[in-house]
Amino acid sequence: MITILLLGPSLGAVSGVSTHLNQLLQSTLPQEFRFVHFQVGSEGRAESMSAKLWRFLSSPVQFIAALLKERPTIVHLNTSLEPKSYWRDIVYLAIAKLMGKKVLYQVHGGALPQQFFEGQPLRTALLRTVLRSADGVLLLAEEELEAYQRFEPALKLEVVPNAIDIGPDVAVRAAPDVAPLAVAYVGRLAENKGIFEIVDAVAIAASAGTVLRLVIAGGGPDEMRLRALVTARGLDGIVTFAGAVFGAQKAAVWRDADVFAFPTYHREGLPYSLLESMAARTVPLICAVGAIPDVMQDGVHGLFVAPQASEQLAEAIMRLDRDRACLRRMGAACRARAVEHYSVERLAADFRRAYRGLLR
């Protein structure tokens, strides 16, 4: 059986990459490939500065030991075009190639390559060398594919979108035409996710007579500022903070929501929250960044809004409140799209092909 050394954060960390690794390990792929997880990075660790320094120095040695012990054919490196990940993972890539391993270099978002070291020709040349040294480069979005092809035409590129456990279909809500519109946000409470614009939009819609409620699920650095804004806007009776949610709690948030408000202007890859909302028939109001336009079509599966545009977001909320039939049609289209294109079964098939392709 072919052994694959899978590099990434702790399998128990709250991270998109950890979710991805667990999906691979829990799919049908282990029936054909032997996976060995090698933990890199700080996610999922509670470290002092001295422990972090020791990990930084010792991890490459431990990686060499793992290569010698496990004798993998393929090293599957999960990284991103963000400075911390990029510089750290160059070391693992170089060691793997020096030891004769095939390397699958999977990029989980971050900057486009033309922008990463813009105005720095030597570092840009190094990035080209790094990407060319991989035996295959996997990306999340068509936008990324086009950018990487322009950056270095010789690269062996493929788009493999994220996937989710689709789960059972939700029941149609009992009184969708008369109940308050249920809006949800699920994600990190950080300003660049558009969370302040969501609160402003809810305030605008409520002042215009729209009856709605908002559930905010997640935690993050801007939570206290967000709570203060909710109180300042007089929305304490409309907005509920659910904290971080997982498993059945998260499923309940999606089940009870009509709309997923996610006006992010962060450089997203492919948010799991978008796929989860669509599988639950929860219609997204979202910005067209990263891989999001690959997943959903404006007016079919949800509505695109401009970044940092609270009034436009409020208009979208009020439009769906007024037209519940449209909301239901979009919800059905979301569910169908998720089932057809974003299941773990499809993900396993993509990686089966990618791994086999490296062995030819």
Contacts of 253 (CB under 8 A, 6+ apart): 184, 186, 215, 217, 242, 245
Say yes or no: domain 2-163+343-358 is CATH 3.30.1360.120.
no
pLDDT score of 47: 60
- pTM beyond cutoff 0.85: yes
CA 15-156-119 angle, to 5 degrees, is 75
**Lowest model confidence (mean pLDDT) among 171-175, 220-224, 251-255, 311-315:** 171-175
Q: Band of the pLDDT at 44, cuts 50, 70, 90?
A: low
Please compute Rg for the chain using Cα positions: 22
d(CA 69, CA 311): 58
3-state helix, strand, coil in the chain (%, to 5): 50, 20, 35
Domains 2-163+343-358 and 181-341 share a fold: yes
122-139: average pLDDT: 97
Q: Band of the pLDDT at 194, cuts 50, 70, 90?
A: very high
Task: Indicate the domain borders of the chain.
Answer: 2-163+343-358, 181-341
**DSSP assignment letter at 30:** G
CA of residue 283 relative to chain centroid, distance:
17
pLDDT score of 164: 95
Q: What is the CATH number of domain 181-341?
A: 3.40.50.2000
**Lowest model confidence (mean pLDDT) among 42-46, 238-242, 331-335, 345-349:** 42-46
pLDDT score of 167: 87
Q: Band of the pLDDT at 171, cuts 50, 70, 90?
A: low
| pLDDT for residue 174 is more than 50 | no
Quote the mean pLDDT of the chain. Answer: 93
pLDDT score of 14: 79
